[in-house]
Amino acid sequence: MTSSTPQHGGKKPSSAPSKAPVNAPPAPSNFLRHVIENDLENGTYAQRQWGGSPGDAAHHKAGMHDPAKVRMRFPPEPNGYLHLGHAKSIWLNFELAKEYGGVCHLRFDDTNPEKEEQEYVDSIRDAVQWLGYETYLADRPSAPGTMQPHEYFASNYFDFMYRAAEYLIETGLAYVDEQTPEEMRANRGDFGKPGIDSPFRARTPAENIARFREMRDGKLDDGAAILRAKIDMASPNINMRDPALYRIRRATHHNTGDKWCIYPMYTFAHPIEDALEQITHSICTLEFEDQRPFYDWLLDRLAEGGLIASPHPRQYEFARLNVTHVVTSKRKLRELVEGGHVDGWDDPRMPTLAGLRRRGYTPDALKLFCERSGVTKSGGWIDYASLEAALRDTLDPIAPRAMAVLDPVKLVITNWDALMGEGFLDECSAPINPHDPEAGRRHFKLGRDVWIERNDYEEVQPKGFFRLFPGNKVRLKYGHVIECTGGTKDANGKLVEVQALLVPDTKSGTPGADAIKVKGNITWVAVADALQAEVRLYERLFAAEKPGSGELLDELNKESLVTCAAFVEPSLAGAALGGAGFQFERHGYFVKDRSKPQSLSVLVNRTATLKDLRAK
């Protein structure tokens, strides 16, 4: 057993909410709200229109969204399962859209054919819906009342992206570069050194179009050429030194199959995706700040050509979420899955949304955590403890209670048969949730033999210990008072049984209950009606406080999973799998796992302990 050892029986479990209550006042305003409010006030996007000749933007124009609406997007690349960092982005985009009466698109940013898979698309859709964000909203001005699914795939815009590339070539703003990758790298320069123009930079538009079409038609080998924007090789911003727009890559795409052997680069594709969907505010993390000039450059050029509407979307950056003891990188998480270091993407220790869900995290807990973590322009690390605090604060008011004995030893009430009758089982009950009397009561039995926690007994009383030791009286919570008479150990000195005497007429809820004052109050389950359970005591997956910088496997917590053979209250039999789970009194929040082996009555995962045991 690790940190799960029960707290002193005499004390109430500390389920008191931490500082910020669930129904805290609305989150303080953040800089994004100011931007959005400003745009709404000025009608920035309500005046959106196409300039120049509309060209082939016509069909996108036909799908014109309501221009007065705030339109956000969450654009994951389907190359892994979503993690806690994504929850922040989902929460931010969908909540802001909702707050301002707008919509948020779920867009699969699937422009990289090699790493993307249908499994990931499905898992992402699942995670967004689980968080409670609806991507189906009534928002089709041409047919009021119809439901338009706001789910999009970047790969559906490949045709448009290709035409946008040709447009740039025709206007002298892009060229096919056939330097070797090494030459390109060397000629890009660095922070202190301007880049050098490629010898291919002076090609005419006609030459470039012909060569680009050869790229498209499979006449060139992978890596033999790229299409680059023609901007400024001496720009102090390296991202503006003729960034790559298209590369040759013979790979089967999950959506477009083998139709293409050239694929757009993320920096080229992403602004176009935003523009075609008429996104108003494109929110990303701070790493993309240096890309913003290219985002604007590209969309300004396409708007001038009438390919997209104007004003075009704008990019805004906020600090990514970093949580101590958590890795938020799909690539690193994939390493753990593929290396077999965890039991799949949804291992309850994984910081994926699928893992957090199996661990017992609820959408409300995650949203509260996102809200408390704030939206700022400067990064930092959020303590893992605040993730658990958000969980406790949301679960305490709603989680049904139950008793569980995680490290069981048998207690025999030696005068039970004489006082109560042989084989008699006394009916006891307890509130399902003390904060919610309407939830009713749960029922269980007390008999001669009960399971108690091994560490609730001591042969000799340690200082400050008020539970079982010879001569001491304690209450079996919700049951009777007993007086301990001793314990039996085996040849190895291991405790195998504890004995006690029932103190008559002391049952909870009866007039005699208060006749005897006891300092200890212990949890238990009767041998007669307990369910056998496997309990998984999960700990942090990473021992390192700020994992991700060193060797990933060395940063793992070797004791992130301890399993115990426990006994739990019979009410667990009917409990639903997953959901908000329940609170085992004295032990913490737990959830029933869906992957129950046949031989077991119950398999439960510990979501979190009752209080932060590390804070001490």
Q: Are 13 and 7 in contact (CB under 8 A)?
A: yes
Please state whether beta strands 531-538 and 602-608 pair in parallel, antiparallel, or not at all (unpaired): parallel
Site for ligand ATP in 215-254 (CB under 6 A): none
Please, which residue, 200 or 266, has the CB nearer to ligand ATP?
266
- The catalytically annotated residue of 98, 201, 213, 320 is 320
Q: For 455, which DSSP code? A: G
Near ligand ATP by CB under 6 A, which window of 85-93, 251-259, 302-310, 416-424? 85-93
Shortest Å distance, C-beta 320 to ligand ATP: 4
Please, which residues have CB within 8 angstroms of residue 359's CB and are 6 or more apart in sequence? 348, 349, 538, 591, 605, 607
| Cα separation values, 124 from 87, 108, 129, 359, Å | 11, 9, 9, 18
- Binding partner selected for residue 228 from ligand ATP, Mg ion, none, CB under the kind-specific 5 to 8 Å limit: none
Q: Rounded distance, CA 178 to CA 588, Å?
A: 62
Please, which residue, 111 or 135, has the CB nearer to Mg ion?
111
Please, which residue, 40 or 284, has the CB nearer to ligand ATP?
284
Helix (H, G, I), strand (E, B) or coil at 54: coil
- The catalytically annotated residue of 330, 349, 454, 586 is 330
Q: Does 356 bind ligand ATP (CB under 6 A)?
A: no
Other Cβ atoms closer than 10 A to 12: 12
Q: Does 75 bind ligand ATP (CB under 6 A)?
A: yes
Near Mg ion by CB under 5 A, which window of 58-66, 72-80, 316-324, 467-475? 72-80
Shortest Å distance, C-beta 354 to ligand ATP: 14
Q: How many residues bind Mg ion (CB under 5 A)?
A: 1
Q: Does 85 bind ligand ATP (CB under 6 A)?
A: yes
Near ligand ATP by CB under 6 A, which window of 71-79, 183-191, 214-222, 579-587? 71-79
- Binding partner selected for residue 75 from Mg ion, ligand ATP, none, CB under the kind-specific 5 to 8 Å limit: ligand ATP
Q: Are 402 and 439 in contact (CB under 8 A)?
A: no
Q: Are 163 and 59 in contact (CB under 8 A)?
A: no
Q: Rounded distance, CA 135 to CA 152, Å?
A: 10
- Binding partner selected for residue 76 from Mg ion, ligand ATP, none, CB under the kind-specific 5 to 8 Å limit: ligand ATP
Q: Does 77 bind Mg ion (CB under 5 A)?
A: yes
Q: How many residues bind ligand ATP (CB under 6 A)?
A: 14
Q: Are 147 and 301 in contact (CB under 8 A)?
A: no
Q: For 109, which DSSP code? A: -
Q: Rounded distance, CA 433 to CA 569, Å?
A: 15
Q: Does 334 bind Mg ion (CB under 5 A)?
A: no
Shortest Å distance, C-beta 257 to ligand ATP: 22
- Mask for 88-117, x = binds ligand ATP (CB under 6 A): xx----------------------------
- Mask for 374-413, x = binds Mg ion (CB under 5 A): ----------------------------------------
- Contacts of 385-390 with CB under 8 Å at 24 or more apart are 385/612, 385/614, 385/615, 387/84, 387/323, 387/326, 388/608, 388/609, 388/612, 389/18, 389/612, 390/365, 390/366
* Catalytic residue check, 330: yes
Give the residue from 443, 85, 129 showing the smallest Cα distance to 287.
85
Q: Does 314 bind ligand ATP (CB under 6 A)?
A: no
Shortest Å distance, C-beta 237 to ligand ATP: 20
Give the residue from 79, 75, 157, 155 showing the smallest Cα distance to 116.
79
* Catalytic residue check, 69: no
Amino acid at 566: A
Instruction: Determine phi and psi for 181, rounding to 5 degrees.
Output: -55, -35
* Catalytic residue check, 320: yes
Near Mg ion by CB under 5 A, which window of 13-21, 71-79, 202-210, 490-498? 71-79
Give the residue from 245, 255, 49, 58 showing the smallest Cα distance to 151.
255
Q: Rounded distance, CA 90 to CA 124, Å?
A: 11
| Residues contributing to the site for ligand ATP (CB under 6 A) | 75-77, 85-86, 88-89, 284-285, 320-321, 328-330
| Residues contributing to the site for Mg ion (CB under 5 A) | 77
